[in-house]
Structures are given as structure tokens and as C-alpha cells.
């Protein structure tokens, strides 16, 4: 018995030393080089922006989770000419009864642009793990879509998420979305980490580009929930044209169930979905001590029941760890405020965008510093999350290709390519993450990693698994 335990200890020591050596040397910088870094926006007459036929036909249809628990869906769409009906007709795949829900309709103005009629309707009390069909519109312009509700939350409930950020509406954006749609591992819900339409890159923040983007993503977002995170391109402030209210187009077009998690703002909120607890934070709202976002997260993290939702995921736009020169250390103040909480509550993964490239970190933290000890270097920490940047959706601003050198020890893999991610949760202890670059065939992963749940896995087991 003593010999067995000594051997096991020796193995763990060797693995730990190897891990430490790898950590000190830094990770992998991909040698893959794209042929072009800049992609132009698709023209307004592109087929992906096509307006549905018929007078006042609903367009820009998209859904997101409509409550905290996961058995409600919030359906949104736009009618261009008049309000029309604000109701949704829906029924279960094998059901005999059709039901309807009533929503609201709103409009907004931005400089010289007036929006169409934006509808938001929440369908409540749905059955878990069930396919539903739904219709919006009236008469000859009725349009039909479908969605599948998630399984009820539980310890070993498998579920698969897609990950996209900084998408825009270029030819590369279209390749990213097509790649996601054709992936052999099918995402059931999209976790979107901010920067949607890039309308603010046009003169006067041309809100027509919000309309084209809504029609562009409808082929996915009309059929599976997209969980929204706001990025810097959603701020949309321009005092020179009299627009001083932040997030105006985003807040009017993309509603989320923030009140269900006791949030005071749609820019930060939480939901449960299958075996996952998802916390969405706002990189561009105040988060220092005593601010509303700070106080909300302070009370939110202790609420997470890891025996019900074992996986704890955080979404934000600006990454806390980033080894690219572009946006380098922009997330540092939020890291200082929140990182210790992420470690304390054993957050499994933090997904971000903003940097137009891909990067995955080691499990590290930088929380030991005080004004006396000077300890201000990231170190391995098995209670810390993995930080993954997927700001590589394909927008018109192009890729972030310049990197800090040498590659820092906290960076496990980085590559300046467009692509998307897939998070495939298997059970309470294991999840698989893969990143696909657009240039490869649909089944090829450029980077992948098995994730061990922080709450349900001890550090010793984690070391053995990583060997």
C-alpha cells in the first residue's frame, strides 16, 4: 500500500513539474497565416440580407431565453410598414392545441433614422426538452419557425453551446455563421460575446446596418436562442449628431430577461440552461465597488447551486487576459475587481470577444498582490477559470495579428484567424471545447481542450487528467 501511494505521489509530482515547465515556457502560437486580414461588408443587395416577400412581412426574427429557469422563450421581430400583430402563435411538435402570447411593440429614432416596429413577446411555461413551432405575422405574410427548449437543469445533463463574438456582416462573417451551422457538433444555443452589427463604423452610425444584420442572423437566431452580451460597438454614442444615450439601438432591438435574475439593467444578468449557470457582465458599464453591477454580482455568485447547475460560465466582451497588442490590458480594471470572486466561486470558463483573434489561457490567477508583497504575476491556479477569447467572428475591422512576445506563460494557444467555438458539456465533471477556423473544413478543429469542472474535480485529478 505504501509503495502504491509513493508511486502515485511521484507520478503527480512529475506531472506537476511538467505542467509548471510548460507554464513557464508559454503555450503555442499558431503558425497558420491567413491570405487576407481585412474583409469588406457584404453589399446591401446580398441574398443574406433579403427582405421577406409581402407587405409588412416580419423580418429580423430572433429568439433568446425568456426567463431565469429556461422554460420561456423571448421572440423578437420587426415589421417595417406598420405595427401589425404583436402576437406569437405556438404549439408543441406533437401537440394538438395551438396557443398564443401577446407582446409589445416599440420604435426608436437615431439621428435621421426611424426604426421599424420592433416586437418582443415572451412565451412562458413551456415544457422542457420539447420542440415547438411558432408563427409571427398575419395573413399571407405569416412566417413559421421552430425551437427546442433545453432539458431541465440537473447534474449530468449534456448540452452544447456555440460561441461567436465580434461578428459584423462581412463575407467572413457569413463564412463564420455557415461554419457554425455545418459543424458536426451541433450547437443548441449561441453564446454571443458582444459586438453585433458594427453599424457604428458607418457614417452617422447608419442604423440600416442594424436591419441588415438582423436579417443576416435570422437563419440561426430564429431557430435557437442567442444569449446576448453587449460590446463596445453597441454603445452607439455620438454627441456630434445629438446621440448621447448609450446602447440605444441595442437595448431597443435585443431584449433579455434581466429582471428575472434581479438585475437592474439588461447589460448584466444571469440564466440557467440545462446543467449550466450563465452570468453575463457588461465591460462598458460601471463595475467598481458599490456600483449596481458590482452589487448585483456580489449577491449573484453565492446563489449558484452547483448541485443543480454544475457548470458556471461568465460572458463578457473585453477579455481579462489577452496577449495580443490590440486591446492589451484593457480588461485589467475589471480583472482587479472581479477575478478573486471568479476564483473563490470556481468559475469554469470566462468567454470574451473584443480582440479580433482567438486565444485560450491556462488556469491562472493574479490575485495575490497587495501594496507590500509585490506579487503581481499570473500563476497557475486550479481553482481559476480558463479564459477564452473568441472575438474572431469576421467583422470589417479585420484581424488582430500583432502579439506580445515572448508568448506569456498564461497563454496556452493563440491564433489570428476568423472562426467560432463549440462548448460540449458531457456531464457534471467533463466538457469539451473546440475552436474551428474558417479556412478549414467543417470537421477540423484548430484548437481543443477537455475541461474539468472546478467544483466537481479536485486539483490532483485535474493534474492526472492533463497528463
Tell which wins on pLDDT, 26 or 105.
105
Digit-coded pLDDT (tens) for 32-74:
766 665 678 999 999 999 999 999 999 999 999 999 999 999 9
Q: What pLDDT, on the 0 to 100 scale, is given for residue 39?
A: 79
| List of long-range contacts for 370-377, beta carbons under 8 Å, 24+ apart | none
Q: What pLDDT, on the 0 to 100 scale, is given for residue 25?
A: 58
How is the beta sheet containing 411-415 ordered, strand by strand?
28-29, 411-415, 358-361, 386-390, 349-352, 311-315, 276-280, 269-273
Range with the lowest mean pLDDT among 257-266, 419-428, 442-451?
A: 442-451
Q: What pLDDT, on the 0 to 100 scale, is given for residue 34?
A: 64
Where is 364: in which H helix or E strand?
A: strand 364-365
Q: What pLDDT, on the 0 to 100 scale, is given for residue 33?
A: 66
Quick check: 130 pLDDT over 50?
Answer: yes
- Report the candidate in 389, 388, 385 with the shortest Cα–Cα distance to residue 454: 385
Quick check: 433 pLDDT over 60?
Answer: yes
Whole-angstrom distance, CA of residue 354 vs CA of residue 350: 13
State the pLDDT confidence band at 458, using cuts at 50, 70 and 90: low
Strand 276-280 relative to strand 87-92, pairing: unpaired
403 alpha-carbon distance from chain centroid: 23
- Report the candidate in 177, 172, 205 with the shortest Cα–Cα distance to residue 190: 177
Cell 499558431, residue?
Answer: 30
Q: What pLDDT, on the 0 to 100 scale, is given for residue 164?
A: 98
Q: What pLDDT, on the 0 to 100 scale, is given for residue 38?
A: 65
Please state the rounded mean pLDDT for residues 248-254.
Answer: 98
Secondary structure (3-state) at 316 = coil
Cell 436579417, residue?
Answer: 215
Strand 276-280 relative to strand 311-315, pairing: parallel
Mean pLDDT of the chain: 91
Whole-angstrom distance, CA of residue 162 vs CA of residue 425: 11
Whole-angstrom distance, CA of residue 59 vs CA of residue 54: 11
Q: Is 354 a catalytic residue?
A: no
Q: What pLDDT, on the 0 to 100 scale, is given for residue 191?
A: 98
What percent of the chain lies above the pLDDT cut of 70? Answer: 91
Please state the rounded mean pLDDT for residues 415-427.
Answer: 97
Instruction: Compute how many other C-beta atoms are within 10 angstroms of the C-beta atom of residue 6.
Output: 10
Digit-coded pLDDT (tens) for 98-113:
999 999 999 999 999 9
Q: Which residue among the candidates 327, 354, 356, 420 is catalytic per the annotation? A: 327
Please state the rounded mean pLDDT for residues 420-431.
Answer: 98
Please state the rounded mean pLDDT for residues 115-121.
Answer: 98
Whole-angstrom distance, CA of residue 270 vs CA of residue 70: 11
CA atoms within 13 A on the CB side of 310: 21
CB-CB contact of 227 with 188 (8 Å): no
How is the beta sheet containing 117-123 ordered, strand by strand?
59-65, 73-79, 117-123, 104-106
- Report the candidate in 188, 162, 163, 161 with the shortest Cα–Cα distance to residue 391: 163
423 alpha-carbon distance from chain centroid: 11
State the pLDDT confidence band at 137, using cuts at 50, 70 and 90: very high
Q: Which alpha helices (DSSP H) does 182-310 contain, by range?
A: 208-221, 248-253, 292-300
Quick check: 247 pLDDT over 90?
Answer: yes
Quick check: 95 pLDDT over 60?
Answer: yes
Q: What pLDDT, on the 0 to 100 scale, is given for residue 444?
A: 85
Please state the rounded mean pLDDT for residues 197-205.
Answer: 97
DSSP letter for each residue of 108-128? -EETTEE--EEEEEEE-SPPT
Instruction: Compute how many other C-beta atoms are within 10 angstroms of the C-beta atom of residue 435.
Output: 23
Q: What pLDDT, on the 0 to 100 scale, is given for residue 442?
A: 84
Whole-angstrom distance, CA of residue 54 vs CA of residue 141: 6
Tell which wins on pLDDT, 226 or 27.
226
Digit-coded pLDDT (tens) for 289-304:
999 999 999 999 999 9
Digit-coded pLDDT (tens) for 147-182:
999 999 999 999 999 999 999 999 999 999 999 999
State the pLDDT confidence band at 214, using cuts at 50, 70 and 90: very high
Quick check: 467 pLDDT over 90?
Answer: no
DSSP letter for each residue of 34-78? -S-S--PBPPTT-GGGPPPSSTT--EEEEEEE-SSSSS-EEEEEE
Q: Which alpha helices (DSSP H) does 301-449 contain, by range?
A: 332-344
CA atoms within 13 A on the CB side of 459: 12
Whole-angstrom distance, CA of residue 118 vs CA of residue 132: 23
Whole-angstrom distance, CA of residue 140 vs CA of residue 413: 51
What percent of the chain lies above the pLDDT cut of 90? Answer: 84
How many Å from the N-terminal Cα to the C-terminal Cα in the chain?
A: 23
Amino acid at each position: 500500500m505504501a509503495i502504491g501511494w509513493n508511486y502515485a505521489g511521484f507520478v503527480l509530482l512529475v506531472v506537476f513539474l511538467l505542467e509548471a515547465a510548460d507554464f513557464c515556457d508559454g503555450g503555442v502560437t499558431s503558425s497558420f497565416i491567413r491570405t487576407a486580414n481585412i474583409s469588406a461588408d457584404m453589399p446591401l443587395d446580398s441574398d443574406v440580407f433579403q427582405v421577406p416577400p409581402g407587405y409588412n412581412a416580419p423580418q429580423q426574427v430572433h429568439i433568446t431565453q425568456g426567463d431565469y429557469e429556461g422554460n420561456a422563450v423571448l421572440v423578437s421581430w420587426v415589421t417595417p410598414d406598420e405595427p401589425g400583430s404583436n402576437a406569437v402563435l405556438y404549439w408543441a411538435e406533437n401537440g394538438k392545441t395551438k396557443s398564443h402570447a401577446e407582446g409589445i411593440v416599440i420604435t426608436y429614432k437615431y439621428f435621421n433614422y426611424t426604426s421599424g416596429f420592433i416586437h418582443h413577446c415572451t412565451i412562458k411555461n413551456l415544457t422542457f426538452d420539447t420542440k415547438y413551432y411558432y408563427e409571427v405575422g398575419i395573413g399571407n405574410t405569416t412566417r413559421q419557425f421552430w425551437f427546442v427548449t433545453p432539458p431541465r437543469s440537473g447534474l449530468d445533463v449534456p448540452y452544447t453551446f456555440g460561441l461567436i463574438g465580434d461578428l459584423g456582416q462581412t463575407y467572413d462573417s457569413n463564412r463564420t455563421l455557415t461554419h457554425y451551422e455545418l459543424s458536426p457538433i451541433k450547437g443548441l444555443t449561441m453564446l454571443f460575446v458582444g459586438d453585433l452589427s458594427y453599424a457604428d463604423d458607418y457614417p452617422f452610425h447608419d442604423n440600416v446596418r442594424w436591419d441588415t444584420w438582423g436579417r443576416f442572423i435570422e437563419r440561426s437566431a430564429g431557430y435557437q436562442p442567442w444569449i446576448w452580451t453587449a460590446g463596445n460597438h453597441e454603445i452607439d454614442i455620438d454627441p456630434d449628431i445629438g446621440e448621447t444615450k448609450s446602447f440605444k439601438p441595442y437595448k431597443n432591438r435585443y431584449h433579455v430577461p434581466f429582471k428575472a435574475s434581479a438585475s437592474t439593467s439588461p447589460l448584466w444578468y444571469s440564466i440557467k440552461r440545462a446543467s449550466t449557470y450563465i452570468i453575463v457582465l457588461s465591460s462598458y458599464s460601471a463595475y467598481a465597488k458599490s456600483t449596481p453591477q458590482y452589487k448585483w454580482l456580489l449577491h449573484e455568485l453565492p446563489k449558484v447551486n452547483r448541485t443543480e447547475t454544475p457548470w458556471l460560465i461568465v460572458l463578457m466582451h473585453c477579455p481579462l487576459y489577452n496577449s495580443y497588442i490590440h486591446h492589451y490590458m484593457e480588461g485589467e480594471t475589471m480583472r482587479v475587481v472581479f477575478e478573486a470572486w471568479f476564483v473563490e466561486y470556481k468559475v469554469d470558463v470566462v468567454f470574451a470577444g473584443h480582440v479580433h483573434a482567438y486565444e485560450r489561457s491556462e488556469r491562472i490567477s493574479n490575485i495575490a498582490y497587495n501594496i507590500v508583497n509585490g506579487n503581481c504575476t499570473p500563476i497557475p491556479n486550479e481553482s481559476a477559470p480558463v479564459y477564452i477569447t473568441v472575438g474572431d467572428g469576421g467583422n470589417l475591422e479585420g484581424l488582430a495579428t500583432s502579439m506580445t512576445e515572448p508568448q506569456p506563460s498564461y497563454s496556452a494557444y493563440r491564433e489570428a484567424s476568423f472562426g467560432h467555438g463549440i462548448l460540449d458539456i458531457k456531464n457534471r465533471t467533463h466538457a469539451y471545447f473546440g475552436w474551428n477556423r474558417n479556412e478549414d473544413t467543417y470537421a477540423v478543429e484548430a484548437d481543443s481542450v477537455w475541461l474539468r469542472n472546478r467544483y466537481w474535480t479536485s486539483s490532483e485529478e485535474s493534474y492526472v487528467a492533463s497528463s
